[in-house]
Amino acid sequence: MLFEETLALVARIRERYAIEPIAVQPRLSLTGQADLYDEALWTRNPDLCCKLRKLEPQGAFLQHYDAWISGIRRDQTKARSLVPVVTWDDQFELVKVSPFARWTEEMVWRYVRARDLPYNELHDRQFPSVGCTPCTRSIRPGEGLHAGRWAGSEKIECGLHVSLVSLGSAL
Ligand code: SF4
C-alpha cells in the first residue's frame, strides 16, 4: 500500500546508514482482507482498515520492546499539539519518545537540507504528508498540509499516535 517513492526512500536509508529496516506486516494480505471485509475497505471503514493494517501489526511488534521513538511533532495537527517528548503510551503499553515534538516543519527542512538527508521525493510534489496510496493525494493551493490524507472524510489520524477512541471513533 506504500508509494514507490516511499519504498525508494527506504532503499536510500538502507544504503546510506548501512541498516536493514524491518517491514512490519499486517496479519491479513490485501486479498485476505477483501475476503473478510470486501474490496477497498479503506473507502467504507478507514478506521477499521487502519486498525487491521497499522495498529494491530504495530502493537504486536512493539510487544517485544520497552520503548519506541516516533517522528511526530506538535505543529503537525491540532490533535498532536500537546505531544510530550517522553510519555507512557497507553495504547501500546510502553514508553514513547518523540524527540521532534517541539520542532517546526521549517526546522525539519532546514536540518534536512543542511545535512543532505534522504527524504520522500513526494514532498517535492505537493505531498506534505504521505501515507498509504489509496488514502493520500497531493494538496492544492490554499489547502492545509494534511488535506491530502483521507480527503473527503472526517478522518485525520490513523491511530498510531493519537488514539482513534480518544478522537471519538467507534472501532
Ligand atoms: S491509510 Fe488507508 S489504506 Fe492505509 S491502513 Fe489506513 S485506511 Fe487502510
pLDDT in tens, 71-109: 999 999 888 999 999 999 999 999 999 999 999 999 999
For residue 92, how far is its CA from the centre of ligand 1 (angstroms)?
Answer: 19
- In contact, 120 and 5? CB cutoff 8 Å: yes
- Ligand 1 mutation target, pool 54, 55, 56, most atoms within 8 A of CB: 54
**Nearest CA, atom 8, ligand 1:** 49
Provide the pairing of β-strand 67-69 with 86-89.
Answer: unpaired
Kindly report whether the global pTM for this prediction surpasses the value 0.75.
yes
Q: What is the pLDDT of residue 3?
A: 98
pLDDT surpasses 70 at 162 = yes
Alpha helices in the chain (DSSP H): 4-17, 30-37, 41-44, 46-50, 56-62, 105-115
Q: Is 158 a catalytic residue?
A: yes
Distance in angstroms (rounded) separating the CA atoms of residues 126 and 137: 9
What does the pLDDT look like over 35-73, one tens digit per residue?
999 999 999 999 999 999 999 999 999 999 999 999 999
Q: What is the pLDDT of residue 170?
A: 47
pLDDT surpasses 90 at 131 = yes
Q: What is the pLDDT of residue 68?
A: 98
pLDDT surpasses 60 at 140 = yes
Distance in angstroms (rounded) separating the CA atoms of residues 33 and 84: 35
Q: Which domains does the chain have, with CATH numbers?
A: 4-135 (3.40.50.620)
Residue 47 CA: nearest ligand 1 atom is 7
